[in-house]
Amino acid sequence: MPKLRIKVDPDLCIGAASCVTIAPETFQLNEENKAYVLDHGAEPTPRTYERIIEVTDAEKENMILAAQSCPTLAIFIFDENEKQLFPET
């Protein structure tokens, strides 16, 4: 399964929660109303804005959809070769 690095820039995030609506297993909001990153609903390491997650192709597609939905483009997705999948550069 592909591995993705998912990163939220908390300085850009305004807590619009589009990502939480689309991919709640990957994104939730913290006390500061910023999205943090989960691994399939769990937090194997302490709370973080960045995680490497193993995903299925369908999960990958949904994560990109969640990132696209962010009105401040605060979510960055990289593949195993550190190629930025979203936002497209």
Provide the binding-site residues for other proteins, judged by CB under 8 A. Answer: 11-12, 14-18, 21, 28-29, 31-33, 69, 71-73
- CB closer to other proteins out of 33 and 52: 33
Q: At its nearest, how many Å lie between other proteins and the CB of residue 1?
A: 24
Q: Taken in order 56, 57, 60, 61, is the CA torsion positive or negative?
A: negative
Q: How many Cβ atoms sit within 10 Å of the Cβ of residue 17?
A: 17
Q: At its nearest, how many Å lie between other proteins and the CB of residue 16?
A: 6
For 27, the 3-state DSSP assignment is strand
